């Protein structure tokens, strides 16, 4: 399966600390995306990094991609209680089922708890 | 406001009673898809649509049908729901299957 797997499954930190989540995948990808989900709500897109990019920043978010290791990391700096959510990586790769199409496959997520 | 809407948000039904969950987007996106989210299994794609009248199966299509007669709408149909279809369902849309996905608020379905 080309599904990404996040690590750790759960992470608990204090406000102000940095949070790092990792994602590993198995096949070559076109891009990798990170999403956030507040409890029971729809996912919200955070950042997209293409296979030819190594690092990307957006506000307090920093994403790295290492295609040789087939892994990515999401760093949230100076975390806040409002960052409490589940974080998912999603890999976009050419479909094994439908020639000429790519599919986006989500991992199972990392649950982040930021305590005040 | 750019958004994906789903209805209903919550539904409790009985086994075998046909139901439809509607999904609509106002962003003129070509690509739309349905996911189900279950504890410990993450999000799994049910069906997707590249454009009007173009649909294809995702990873878990059994027991579901879809249609794409208009660009903005992508309903999910359960012809004969069963308890194993109890789940949280999300509709999503984007300009292309590789791009940023916009998700709806979710529909929590319980089949008894």
Q: Write out pLDDT tens, residues B68-101.
A: 999 999 999 999 999 999 999 999 999 987 889 9
Please check whether residue B103 touches A, CB under 8 A: yes
- Give exposure, A81-98, as e/b (b: 16+ Cβ within 10 Å): eebbbbbbbbbbbebeee
Write the residue in B42, B45, B105 that is nearest to A109 by C-beta: B42
Residue A86 has pLDDT above 90, yes or no: yes
Gap between the Cα atoms of B48 and B54, Å rounded: 9
Residue B36 confidence class, pLDDT cut points 50, 70, 90: very high
Please check whether residue A108 touches B, CB under 8 A: yes
Question: What tens digit of pLDDT does each residue of A3-54 get?
Answer: 678 889 999 999 999 999 999 999 899 999 999 999 889 999 999 999 999 9
Query: B58 to chain A nearest CA, in Å?
Result: 9
Taking CB atoms and an 8 Å cutoff, what residues of chain A touch B99?
A: 48
Please check whether residue B39 touches A, CB under 8 A: no
Residue A83 has pLDDT above 70, yes or no: yes
Q: Tell me the C-alpha to C-alpha distance, in Å, between residue B4 and each of A36, B7, B94.
A: 16, 10, 10
Residue A85 has pLDDT above 80, yes or no: yes
What number is the average pLDDT over the span B62-71? 97
């Amino acid at each position: 399966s080309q599904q990404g797997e996040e690590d750790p499954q759960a992470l608990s930190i204090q406000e102000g600390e940095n949070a790092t989540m990792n994602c590993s995948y198995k096949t070559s990808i076109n891009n990798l995306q990170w999403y956030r989900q507040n409890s029971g709500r729809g996912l919200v897109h955070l950042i997209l990094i293409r296979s030819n990019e190594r690092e990307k920043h957006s506000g307090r978010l920093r994403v790295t991609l290492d295609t040789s290791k087939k892994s990515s990391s999401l760093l949230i700096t100076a975390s806040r209680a409002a960052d409490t959510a589940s974080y998912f990586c999603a890999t976009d790769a050419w479909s094994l089922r439908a020639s000429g199409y790519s599919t986006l496959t989500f991992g199972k997520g990392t649950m982040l708890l930021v305590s005040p | 406001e750019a958004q994906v809407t789903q209805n209903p948000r919550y539904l409790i039904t009985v086994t075998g009673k046909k139901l439809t969950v509607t999904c609509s987007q106002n962003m003129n996106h070509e690509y739309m898809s349905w996911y189900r989210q279950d504890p410990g299994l993450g999000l799994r794609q049910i069906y997707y649509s590249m454009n009007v009248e173009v649909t294809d199966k995702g990873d878990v299509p059994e027991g579901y049908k879809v249609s794409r007669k208009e660009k903005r709408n992508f309903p999910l149909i359960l012809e004969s729901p069963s308890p194993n279809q109890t789940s949280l369902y999300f509709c999503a849309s984007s300009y292309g299957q590789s791009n940023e996905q916009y998700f709806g608020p979710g529909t929590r379905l319980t089949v008894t």
